[in-house]
Structure 1
Amino acid sequence: MGFFNRLKESLSKTRQGLVEKIENLITGRQVIDESLYEELEEALIGADVGVETSLELMETLRRRVKEQKLRDPARLKPLLQELITDELGTGDSSLNRGGPPTVILVVGVNGVGKTTTIGKLAYYYKTRGERVLLGAADTFRAAAIDQLEIWGRRVGVDVIKHREGSDPAAVAYDALQAARARKMDMLIIDTAGRLHTKSNLMEELKKIRRVLGRELSGAPHEVLLVLDATTGQNAISQARLFSEATGVTGIVLTKLDGTARGGVIIGIRRMLNIPVKFIGIGEGVEDLQPFNPQEFAAALFD
């Protein structure tokens, strides 16, 4: 099964919660009126698109309907697909490159699949001919270092590590020196899962950034925030606070296959203007892929 078909399958719950509701609202309606707009708005909010984003989408929809002089409610579904594609399509989803090596700092709260995401990222770039090194800067838990090493062996990349309890910034420093000495194309650094409300842990992330930037101009070239799609609107509050503290440059949205809340991806783009760079749709090593907004919208509405 190709990735597009797997994406369609993974979005089935979100499709039921959003697209099928839209279809049900439109079917049998004779006119486009205010009550229809209100019900469509409720469907968007119910799919975790977010209140503010849903209101703005409906305002745009009203304007387009008026401009195009539409009368048939059936025309609203393709128009909504177009609007959602436009929302998702702003911004560049490709990675910022620099160095060498390109340095990617991966952040997020506990339980979002951060270390697993790093392993899959390493696999993705290694299979495309890149030389990848991993840095185990989550030193709070020995299990985190072990998990990253397991992923490293699985995908065939080395891991730079220190002992549990070591200074994460020191790990990041050594990993960068090793990546330069070995002429790596990419260095991906794991960090401790942390609550976005813990200011001392956020300060630690800032220290890691300072150390990397001092040693290599422009580093880290990406700060990727891993978010769990099943958390819905809470993912947006996480993204906002992490962005303020660490300058998040891109989102990796995981677990889209297990939720009806996939609409949160639209709210993230509208509310925060942070590009979604990768999406995860399953447990397999190949189930993390670059985000393609047109493909996502087509899979959602197909």
Structure 2
Amino acid sequence: MPIQWFPGHMNAARKKAAETMAAVDVVIEVVDARLPQASSNPMIEELRVFRQRPCLKLLNKADIADPNITKQWLTALNGQKGIKAVALSAKKPGDVAKIGAWCEALAPHRGTAEKPLRMMIMGIPNVGKSTLMNALIKRKVAAVGDEPAVTKSVQRLDINERMTLIDTPGLMWPKIAHDSDGYMLAASHAIGTNAVIDDEVAAFLGDLLLRHYPALLAGKYGIATEGLDGVGVIEAIAKRRAFRLKGGDLDLEKAALALLKDYRTGVLGRISLETPASRAAMLAAAAEAAKPARPADDATDDTDSAG
């Protein structure tokens, strides 16, 4: 089932962000390092390109992403015009402390007491934006929660006399174009739980982990992964951990939630859900599928009629 999630307050937040961006120098976009493109809101890219603003793209949660794949993403993203991409963890003060200098390099004409550097931090829900901002300001200025869309209003904050930060709510976009993006976002908890079915999301995640990280599954849960599919992974976890309902049937919902939690928190290991190559292949397949079917050639009879 395709996953869509666009709470009503996000439309108003998008309009406010578009207005505010006219008066900023650098856009800081926070994405999830485990799915850097799927977690990048295309509306943010459209707004910043229209305003011709440079972007510092922060691949947050890099400490729980696959480091080899993160390197691939940094190479790909840094090859794009107007973007500087870096990987970090909002939980590491040393990483966060570098953000100001990175932004100054993108807007060297700003950053004085007379002309403070104006930065706007944006991103989809639950990518760690509020945690990162609190670390940058060095006090709690944004609510942090495990549920998406905790922040719902724009606020302006002074980092020092030379730098100002504008915070925006987590912004989704009205329609997620690719089903796999919706499932990756749901698995990473960027979408409200009322819009997803956890069993289906966990089965999607299980399939992906079987293809790319079977050893992590086997090591964490003590299960044999050969011959399993995503649903089989959930069943195996339920059996291994003795998750049972009162009648004795397997508690698949509890097993699904356990798998999702272990992935989201990094307990399962350092995992990335997409690579630049897999992204390109997915987009190519989607473009091919969207092509209109070619009409069958009309049958022709080249045989001369008898005289």
Q: Which has the higher contact order (CA 8 A, sep 6+)?
A: 1
Fold shared per TM-score above 0.5: no
TM-score bracket relative to the smaller structure: 0.3 to 0.5
TM-score when scaled to structure 1? 0.34
